[in-house]
Each structure stands twice: as structure tokens, then as C-alpha cells.
Amino acid sequence: MSNENVIESTDSTAPGLEEPARGALEEAGIEPSVVSKKDCSYRMLLDAGVEESVADTLRRQFSLPWSFESDGDLDRRSSEVRGLGAAEREWVAASADSTWQAFESASSRAAETESELDTERPWPKPTPITKVAGISPEKAQTLAKAGITSAERLATIPARDVAAALDLNVLHVRTWRHNARELLK
């Protein structure tokens, strides 16, 4: 549809509603202000007889919810959404359960002892920057001023930014960054 045929609505009850959509809503017996106030869902538009392409445009334009119903709606959507694999469909269907994203409370986490946290750490500890060839404890303190305290961070940060921030020779920083990358291989 070309922009020449689109007439913006001047009706203050439904700002931004284009004329073709306004006509489709009136044909379906839906007050345009209901859509602009988000008192209408995509599913309600379709059920009222609004053409799917118009309903989809309105859903995106006004950020309308898919549906106000929750009973079975996620299961139906997971089967209708194009491009989902079997695992993704399963995830969407599982998320219909109200407990699918249950979080532990802060008090239950506080009950864990320090030793439990150390033994169950899901990520490795950072490699000390002093393990990188060419970085002495004094140079490590200088790099720490820029927030670089691990070999992992040094390996990923732009050398010229570090050199500029700490007034260092960029060639030295590039050498350290290369050494950090070699260490982490």
C-alpha cells in the first residue's frame, strides 16, 4: 500500500490510526479508541472479523497483547508461530505453567554457606593478570586503575584505549594483550 493512499486520523480518540484500519474496525463493530487504549487484544480483533493483516498491523502499531486469555493460549500460539523448532515449541508450551520461572528467595540463598558457594561455582575464577608474560605486580596495579584485573579482560579490551587511558605505549599494551590471549588458549 502506498503512502499516498494512507490518511492519518485527526480523531483525538484514536491518534495514529490510519484510515484503512479505522474502516476495518468500524466494519467489525469495534470502536477505534478501544484499540488505541489497548483495551483490545489481537485475538479479539480476529474474533470480531478483522482481517489478519490489519489485525497484525494494529497489534504491532499499538503493542496490543496477543490475548487477554491465558487458558491454552500459549499452547495454541506455540503451534501457530512459524519458524520454531521442536525444542522451542516445547519451551513455549512449558512456560504456560505458572511455576516455570520460579526464583529462589534471597533468604534461601543467604542460608547457603560460603564453602557451598565456592564448591558449586558455575564459572571459572578469572586468571590473575600477573600470570600474563611481561606484567609485573607494579604494571598490574597500573592496569587495575583502568579496571583491568584479569587476563580475560586484558585479552578482550582494545589496546589503544588502554594505552590512552593510562598514558602507556600502545605497543606494550598490544604485546600484553597478545600474551594474555596466548595464556588463555
Domain end among 46, 62, 78 = 62
pLDDT at 174: 92
pLDDT at 131: 93
Q: Does position 179 have pLDDT exceeding 90, yes or no?
A: yes
Q: Tell me 67's DSSP state.
A: -
More confident residue, 124 or 142: 142
Please report which confidence band the pLDDT of residue 181 belongs to, taking 50, 70 and 90 as the band edges. very high
Q: Tell me 130's DSSP state.
A: G
Over the stretch 64-121, which tens digit does the pLDDT of each residue have?
887 777 655 555 665 666 666 777 767 766 666 655 554 444 444 455 555 555 556 5
Report the C-alpha gap between 92 and 74 in whole angstroms.
7
Considering the domain boundaries, does residue 155 fall inside one? Answer: yes
Residue 136, all three cell numbers: 609485573
Residue 16, all three cell numbers: 495514529
Considering the domain boundaries, does residue 151 fall inside one? Answer: yes
Considering the domain boundaries, does residue 157 fall inside one? Answer: yes
- Of the candidates 110, 108, 168, the one whose C-alpha atom is nearest the C-alpha of residue 135 is 168
Q: Which residues are CB-neighbours of 78 under 8 A, at least 6 positions away?
A: 84, 88, 89, 92, 93
Is 0.85 topped by the overall pTM?
A: no
Phi, psi of 17 (to 5 degrees): -85, 120
Report the C-alpha gap between 113 and 92 in whole angstroms.
35
Domain end among 62, 85, 106 = 62
Report the C-alpha gap between 148 and 140 in whole angstroms.
8
Domain end among 62, 90, 105 = 62
Considering the domain boundaries, does residue 100 fall inside one? Answer: no
Over the stretch 6-48, which tens digit does the pLDDT of each residue have?
333 344 456 677 788 888 888 888 888 888 888 888 888 888 8
Considering the domain boundaries, does residue 159 fall inside one? Answer: yes
Structural domain count of the chain: 2
Say if residues 6 and 20 touch (Cβ distance below 8 Å): yes
Over the stretch 135-164, which tens digit does the pLDDT of each residue have?
999 989 988 888 888 999 889 888 898 888
Range of the domain at 175: 129-184
pLDDT at 99: 57
Considering the domain boundaries, does residue 15 fall inside one? Answer: yes
More confident residue, 171 or 2: 171
